[in-house]
Amino acid sequence: MKRSELAATIDHTLLGPTATRAGVEKLCAEAIQLGVAAACVDLRYARTAREKLAGSSVHLCVVIGFPHGMTASTVKAFEAEQAISEGADELDMVIPVGALKERDLAGLRADIAAVCAVARRAGRPVAVKVILETCLLTDEEKTLAAREAVAAGADFVKTSTGFGSAGATAADVALLRRAVGPGIGVKAAGGIRDTATALAMIAAGATRIGASRTADILAGLDDSKAK
User: How many C-beta atoms lie closer than 10 Å to residue 154's C-beta?
Assistant: 26
**Is residue 227 over pLDDT 50?**
no
Q: Is residue 227 part of a domain?
A: no
- What SS3 state is found at 70? coil
Average confidence (pLDDT) over 209-216 = 97
Q: Is residue 223 part of a domain?
A: no
Confidence of residue 220 (pLDDT cuts 50, 70, 90): confident
The pLDDT > 90 percentage for the chain reads: 96
Residue 85 backbone phi and psi in degrees, to 5? -65, -25
Q: Is residue 226 part of a domain?
A: no
**CA 75 vs CA 48, 72, 115, 187: distances in Å:** 22, 5, 10, 24
Q: Is residue 225 part of a domain?
A: no
When divided into structural domains, the chain yields a total of: 1
Range of the domain at 64: 3-217
Active site residue ranges:
92, 158, 187
d(CA 197, CA 111): 32
Confidence of residue 225 (pLDDT cuts 50, 70, 90): low
pLDDT digits (tens, 9 = 90+) for 117-176: 999 999 999 999 999 999 999 999 999 999 999 999 999 999 999 999 999 999 999 999
**For residue 79, what is the domain's CATH number?**
3.20.20.70
Residues of the chain by 3-state class (helix, strand, coil), percent to 5:
45, 15, 35
